A and B are shown apart, each in its own frame.
Chain A
């Protein structure tokens, strides 16, 4: 988000002659931007082109150009419902991550745990280092009817019925929160650790209660972290398809799974591409709407 290129680069001395600064700048930027061009814009551009085609451009089929793929929300009205579920899941996931992540980061950064805070940080990062599929499948074993969760609950309360909630939207949110929480903890942790202790101490010495400190100092000053974390989480979660598919079962129909189905099962790349770009447009629109707020709070 703040990956602005260096505006000046040290002029390199080569062969006893000083090269003009722009040569060095270009040379330094070329690997990164060349890679971006190849790895992002080429495939994205191809996909954008596909989204206007009538059929997947493989084999010797006659390919025409059409806008029909972008009309799916009108030809298939159930897509509105699918979109609504998707955004509900994404907002719930982001909100829960923001709450839990901020509190965890606050505890880690300000509790004075000393050296042991690194251990806690690593514990939070653990989900990052496990394969996503393994993580999700292990949840299916925990929250299915008669799974580990049920076993524990029934050990404590033998009369209790099943609390398993596999194949539901809460199960999807659970899996997504587990996978994406580390982003929020990390961004908030970095933001909170830069807050000068003296500010908090000054507030407290002037009689501010903890909620005032939290609401008027910590949250506003950690806002860049909260916002960056929310962006990092919301964008992939809106397009997620693995968690909805495995944890949601029949309930797991989201824009992500519809896009995946278009590419794999349906072999209808144009449809999948068009849906992806509509999703991208909605996400960009959301951030454009909030960009004023973002800039004011984050001062990027």
Chain B
């Protein structure tokens, strides 16, 4: 029972989706493509699909997955069923390695000219020298700070006695170890000195009030004044402030944020590659993003032009500064042994925190 950032968007998009069920079906469309994505995650906005079909004559239907493992399984077991798939950039290597997706032909995606170069050409998106995913949206894990408190400039603040009993961490092994790695000046995706990570995470214990697993839990505890400083999702902080009226703002410390990047890819067995690219092009179109972000709520777009189109006072725009794209580390694919080591370390840390 966890609300991920996607589930949350899903809830927010639920109304739009329900409305789409009632809408009249188009009797005829020249081409039909199938998109595989999380439910309620941007690609299935009813108004967007209507606009896209009206402009291109391409009808879009969806299939959904509930976990990234399920996404890989669906791609592998249903060749020819999907034209576009949403894929976390950390999964590109695996999917491309299994021959499930094909290299992106950016010539067929005119809007890709606006993509932030670091995201477009990120290592995560590459496999054997070719780009397999088109960068779509991104977000950060950084610090959520209660308004009126001094903004910390470093993750070291989590262990600073000034915040005793007022800190919350995200209960996620990759994020926690990544945090420890950044705080100790290491590569987040491949920390060589796990002992240093462990020492840093242990030093947070006197300050730690709680571990959170869902945005809802975070909101309730923050509203009850349980903590002032927390590892938080950039989009979550924006939602908590804008929708929940909570006095919180997002801070990216000097070590940089823990970033994630989602891309859109074309399966290697896609029946209609051109239509797929047309759809991807539309998904990174500034006009689509503007409406998605301002009317529904969306993560930050990888398209610089799309972010620029948001009004200056838009909180998403203020939080997701272009500079942060350069300073953040993006979560990459982890070899099994390293993932297991991260999980074991975090489990040990949780037992250490529990022994308080």
Residues of A within 8 A of B (CB): 55, 58-61, 76, 78-79, 81-82, 85, 133, 140, 144-147, 167, 242, 245, 248-253, 257-258, 261-262, 264-268
For B210, give its contact among A147, A249, A258, A261 (CB under 8 Å). A249
Residues of B within 8 A of A (CB): 1-2, 69, 72-73, 76, 94, 98, 171-173, 208-211, 213, 220, 224-226, 336, 339-340, 343-344, 347-348, 350-356
Report whether A76 and B348 are in contact in the complex, using a CB–CB cutoff of 8 Å. yes
A-B contacts, 10 of them at CB < 8 A, read A60-B98, A78-B348, A82-B354, A85-B354, A144-B226, A167-B209, A250-B350, A265-B172, A266-B347, A267-B69
Report whether A265 and B355 are in contact in the complex, using a CB–CB cutoff of 8 Å. no
For A253, give its contact among B2, B76, B224, B351 (CB under 8 Å). B351
Q: Assuming the A-B contacts A76-B344, A261-B347, are A81 and B355 also in contact, with contact meaning beta carbons closer than 8 angstroms in the complex?
A: yes
Report whether A250 and B173 are in contact in the complex, using a CB–CB cutoff of 8 Å. no
Instruction: Enumerate chain A residues within 8 angstroms of B348, measured Cβ to Cβ.
Output: 76, 78
Report whether A146 and B224 are in contact in the complex, using a CB–CB cutoff of 8 Å. yes
Report whether A265 and B352 are in contact in the complex, using a CB–CB cutoff of 8 Å. no
CA A261 – CA B171 in complex, angstroms?
10
The 4 A-B residue pairs with the shortest CB-CB distance in the complex, in nearest-first order = A266-B343, A253-B354, A78-B351, A250-B353
Q: Assuming the A-B contacts A76-B347, A82-B351, A268-B340, are A250 and B356 also in contact, with contact meaning beta carbons closer than 8 angstroms in the complex?
A: yes
Instruction: Enumerate chain B residues within 8 angstroms of A78, measured Cβ to Cβ.
Output: 348, 351-352
In this complex, which of B73, B76, B220, B347 has the most chain A Cβ atoms within 10 angstroms of its Cβ? B347
The residue on A at minimum CB distance from B172 is: A265
CA A262 – CA B344 in complex, angstroms?
9
Instruction: Enumerate chain B residues within 8 angstroms of A60, measured Cβ to Cβ.
Output: 76, 98
Report whether B354 and A252 are in contact in the complex, using a CB–CB cutoff of 8 Å. yes
Instruction: Enumerate chain A residues within 8 angstroms of B172, measured Cβ to Cβ.
Output: 265
Instruction: Enumerate chain B residues within 8 angstroms of A58, measured Cβ to Cβ.
Output: 69, 73
The residue on B at minimum CB distance from A169 is: B354
CA A165 – CA B213 in complex, angstroms?
20
Instruction: Enumerate chain A residues within 8 angstroms of B98, measured Cβ to Cβ.
Output: 60
Instruction: Enumerate chain A residues within 8 angstroms of B210, measured Cβ to Cβ.
Output: 167, 249-250
The residue on B at minimum CB distance from A82 is: B351
CA A268 – CA B341 in complex, angstroms?
11
Instruction: Enumerate chain B residues within 8 angstroms of A144, measured Cβ to Cβ.
Output: 224, 226
Q: Assuming the A-B contacts A144-B224, A266-B173, are A251 and B356 also in contact, with contact meaning beta carbons closer than 8 angstroms in the complex?
A: yes
Instruction: Enumerate chain B residues within 8 angstroms of A262, measured Cβ to Cβ.
Output: 343
Instruction: Enumerate chain A residues within 8 angstroms of B340, measured Cβ to Cβ.
Output: 266, 268
Report whether A250 and B344 are in contact in the complex, using a CB–CB cutoff of 8 Å. no
Report whether A268 and B224 are in contact in the complex, using a CB–CB cutoff of 8 Å. no
Instruction: Enumerate chain A residues within 8 angstroms of B350, measured Cβ to Cβ.
Output: 250, 253, 257
CA A251 – CA B226 in complex, angstroms?
15
Besides the contacts A250-B350, A266-B343, what 19 more A-B pairs have beta carbons closer than 8 Å? A59-B69, A60-B76, A76-B347, A133-B1, A144-B224, A242-B1, A245-B213, A249-B209, A250-B209, A250-B210, A251-B356, A252-B354, A258-B347, A264-B2, A265-B172, A266-B347, A267-B69, A268-B340, A268-B343
CA A22 – CA B115 in complex, angstroms?
74
Report whether B72 and A59 are in contact in the complex, using a CB–CB cutoff of 8 Å. yes
Instruction: Enumerate chain B residues within 8 angstroms of A257, measured Cβ to Cβ.
Output: 350
**Whole-angstrom distance between the Cβ of B290 and the nearest chain A Cβ:** 35
Instruction: Enumerate chain A residues within 8 angstroms of B2, measured Cβ to Cβ.
Output: 264
Instruction: Enumerate chain A residues within 8 angstroms of B339, measured Cβ to Cβ.
Output: 266-267
Report whether B173 and A265 are in contact in the complex, using a CB–CB cutoff of 8 Å. yes
CA A145 – CA B225 in complex, angstroms?
9
CA A265 – CA B213 in complex, angstroms?
11
Instruction: Enumerate chain A residues within 8 angstroms of B69, measured Cβ to Cβ.
Output: 58-59, 267
For A81, give its contact among B1, B209, B351 (CB under 8 Å). B351
The residue on A at minimum CB distance from B2 is: A264
Report whether A250 and B351 are in contact in the complex, using a CB–CB cutoff of 8 Å. no
Instruction: Enumerate chain B residues within 8 angstroms of A258, measured Cβ to Cβ.
Output: 347
CA A140 – CA B211 in complex, angstroms?
15
The residue on B at minimum CB distance from A167 is: B210
CA A78 – CA B345 in complex, angstroms?
11
Instruction: Enumerate chain A residues within 8 angstroms of B354, measured Cβ to Cβ.
Output: 82, 85, 248, 250-253
CA A91 – CA B185 in complex, angstroms?
45
Instruction: Enumerate chain B residues within 8 angstroms of A253, measured Cβ to Cβ.
Output: 350-351, 353-354
Instruction: Enumerate chain B residues within 8 angstroms of A265, measured Cβ to Cβ.
Output: 171-173, 343
Instruction: Enumerate chain A residues within 8 angstroms of B1, measured Cβ to Cβ.
Output: 133, 242
CA A245 – CA B173 in complex, angstroms?
16
The residue on A at minimum CB distance from B350 is: A253
CA A52 – CA B173 in complex, angstroms?
24
Report whether B211 and A145 are in contact in the complex, using a CB–CB cutoff of 8 Å. no
Instruction: Enumerate chain A residues within 8 angstroms of B347, measured Cβ to Cβ.
Output: 76, 258, 261, 266
Report whether B343 and A261 are in contact in the complex, using a CB–CB cutoff of 8 Å. yes
CA A82 – CA B218 in complex, angstroms?
25
CA A51 – CA B285 in complex, angstroms?
48
**Whole-angstrom distance between the Cβ of A278 and the nearest chain B Cβ:** 15
**Whole-angstrom distance between the Cβ of A297 and the nearest chain B Cβ:** 36
CA A261 – CA B354 in complex, angstroms?
15
Instruction: Enumerate chain A residues within 8 angstroms of B351, measured Cβ to Cβ.
Output: 78-79, 81-82, 253
Instruction: Enumerate chain A residues within 8 angstroms of B209, measured Cβ to Cβ.
Output: 167, 249-250
For A59, give its contact among B73, B213, B220 (CB under 8 Å). B73
CA A253 – CA B210 in complex, angstroms?
12
